[in-house]
Amino acid sequence: MIVLLPFLTGLALTGIAWPRRKAEAAETLLLAALALGLGLGAASLTFFASLVAAGTITSAFFVTEVVLLLVLGRILLARNERSRDEVVTAGRGRERAPRLLVAATVVMLGLAVAAYVVLFLDKPNGGWDAWMIWNLRARFLYRGGEHWKDAFSTLLDKNHFHADYPLLLPALVARGWTCAGAESRLVPVAIAAVFTGGTIALLGSSVAVLRGKTLGLLATIAIAGTPDFLHYGGSLCSDVPLAFFVLATLVLLAREDQESEPTRGFPFLAGLSAGLAAWTKNEGLLFLALIVPVRLATHGRSGLARAVRELLWLGAGLAAPLAALAYFKLALAPTNDLIEGQSAGGFLEKVADVHRWAYIAREMTIELVKIEHWGTSFLPVLAGFIVIVGAKVEPAHRRSFALAAWVTALLALGYFLVYVASPHKLEYHVGTSHRRLIVQLVPAGLFALFLAVRAPAPSPGTLRDAKMREPGKPD
Amino acid sequence: MLDARTRDRIGAAALTLVGATILILLIVQTSRSLPSWDGEAVTILERRLAPLRADLAARGLSETGKVGYVSRVSQGENLPGDSSSGGRDFLAAQYALAPILLVNSPDLPLVIGDLPGPESVAPILSANRLAIETDHGSGAYLLRRAE
């Protein structure tokens, strides 16, 4: 039960926010994937709030989670009593995907699971950052009793331990150990598997809902076949959870774009997800700073009233994670190493150094285009795929595509600029982080790409069926 | 010029075949060099330092406290500023001994000696004015300031 609590809370949250409809399988999977991630995010916030309030780990977090679930469940029941199911399906739920493609997707998912397991067995403690940053912090929270705030001690070297990094993952791991009653190695592994699988499910199902099952399956194949996504998923670090929340925010706003009337639920969940991105990693703060102005820009002047209303609900969703983050950053976290190591003169000197720009551009490009078993993505293959199949952004998806594409591009630009101004030795900083930064952008980038791919040509059978169908009669 | 359906099929086949090939290569190459479940470097170091953690806990250092750290390399090499080539032992020791704070210095009342290997530890102890409090074997020592 205690293991399922976050998922049930996530289901209740998404259930309240989602328009009451008879969902197709893809939409149900989309709901489940969002429920998993958002539920874990909510559990992390609850655990942290209980820790701050009680001063040590107590059963308060469990009681809070149960109360939260009961309250959300009551709201969900009340809402369901008030409204009836609308017989509406978003997107192209009725399209039938080719059987061969379904089989290929199953094979790819099987291979991805096998690769994930092998990568985990290769590093059962996770990657360097997993034990040095994330699980170390979880140990301070779990083992530290009343002294859990030692996790943010200035005695911990900030160039290595990064005690200012947000706490979504450490709080979740410490919560898992508390529930298990022991420091099981399987807890971080299970959390990482949920976020990795959840991101694959979220991308595949959201593309299926918005663009049809065929493209949904191809999106699943594309992300499952990205080795570094699996590598960093299995490394037990925070990059894939961050990628999940970035993607979830974009997907929720894209779902909002499909609604003729503005909703409260989608922007609320998008705000919650964007806030959880910032609660996961410092890079999430950059995402948070970008999402609102880019969303406003994609609305244009004509949609200003809707945009303002949407932003209010987005802000409401942001409130809880932002409050936790503000407390953490203002009351607990030491200064960030990138900021502390900066001086005005040094900053200007680095920004004016053309060689730094060229070096970063070269390293990032090499990582993006190389195809090998250890590559970040098979970008050249995706580029070839687009060239072969063609691109056409449908009017219904223009705003969603613009948001996803701009946010991905601006995040990449932001990461680039952080490198340019980095107080660390550039080769070291880029070399130890550029792969993970690209992985953070892969799901959002693939989402943008699959919003832009030309819709599959209908099969002859489908055309024949459409011609034979009587006008006005539902299929 | 290929029709749209043919192009769709080629695109889907290319995506699937390349993706599957990359994953198969990844699985084969990684599984050739898998460590045993308890044979990974961080696990080995944790196991070596486990008696030290118990020793510190017995001295009332279970939930908080700070201890120094010495190894066979210099303080600078224990915690290199901008290098991925060294420093793992100090970082892994902090991971193993958390929530005790490890200070990269011998100038504390209690100091962790992370000194595996056959070479004598005496020169390191005398250079840092340290004495052995407890020898936990495998190069794991609890040291104290020499009088």
For residue A80, name the pLDDT band (cuts at 50, 70, 90): confident
Chain B residue with minimal CA distance to A424?
Answer: B82
Q: How far is A221 from chain B (nearest CA, A)?
A: 6
Report the residue of B7, B26, B47 to disrupt the A interface, i.e. the one with the largest count of A CBs within 10 Å: B26
Q: Which residue has the higher pLDDT, A376 or A406?
A: A406
Within a domain: residue A239? yes
Tally of CA atoms within 13 A in the half-sphere of A331 that contains its CB: 8
Within a domain: residue A467? no
Q: Which residues of A touch B37 (CB under 8 A)?
A: 121, 124
Whether A6 and A40 have beta carbons less than 8 Å apart is answered as yes
Q: pLDDT tens digits, residue range A275-300?
A: 999 999 999 999 999 999 999 999 87
For residue A335, name the pLDDT band (cuts at 50, 70, 90): confident
Q: Where do the domains of chain B lie?
A: 1-34, 41-145
Q: Which residues of A touch B14 (CB under 8 A)?
A: 381, 384-385, 388
Q: Which residues of A touch B15 (CB under 8 A)?
A: 218, 221-222, 225, 381-382, 385
Within a domain: residue A470? no
Interface confidence, given as ipTM, is 0.91
Q: How far is A217 from chain B (nearest CA, A)?
A: 10
Q: Which residues of A touch B16 (CB under 8 A)?
A: 104, 107-108, 221, 225
In this predicted structure, what is the pLDDT of residue A474? Answer: 40
Using CB atoms, pick whichever of A115, A146, A147 lies closest to residue B26. Answer: A115
In this predicted structure, what is the pLDDT of residue A472? Answer: 43
Q: Is B128 helix (H, G, I), strand (E, B) or coil?
A: coil
Whether A246 and A260 have beta carbons less than 8 Å apart is answered as no
Whether A170 and A138 have beta carbons less than 8 Å apart is answered as yes
Q: Is A471 helix (H, G, I), strand (E, B) or coil?
A: coil
Contacts of A290 (CB under 8 A, 6+ apart): A407, A410, A411, A414
pLDDT of residue B17 exceeding 60, the answer is yes
Average pLDDT over residues B5-19: 88
Q: How many domains does chain A have?
A: 1
Average pLDDT over residues A121-127: 88
Average pLDDT over residues A131-148: 95
For residue A464, name the pLDDT band (cuts at 50, 70, 90): low
Cβ-defined contact of B7 to A124 (cutoff 8 Å): no
What percent of chain A has a predicted confidence (pLDDT) above 70? 91
Q: Which residue has the higher pLDDT, A44 or A305?
A: A44
Q: Virtual CA dihedral for B30, B33, B36, B37, nearest 10 degrees?
A: -20
Query: What is the domain extent for residue A36?
Result: 5-81+98-457
In this predicted structure, what is the pLDDT of residue A52? Answer: 96
Cβ-defined contact of A459 to B101 (cutoff 8 Å): no
For residue A23, name the pLDDT band (cuts at 50, 70, 90): confident
Beta strands at B101-103 and B130-135: parallel, antiparallel or unpaired: unpaired
Cβ-defined contact of B63 to A143 (cutoff 8 Å): yes
Average pLDDT over residues A137-145: 96
Within a domain: residue A90? no
Q: How far is A308 from chain B (nearest CA, A)?
A: 40
Within a domain: residue A89? no
What is the rounded average pLDDT for all residues in chain A?
A: 89
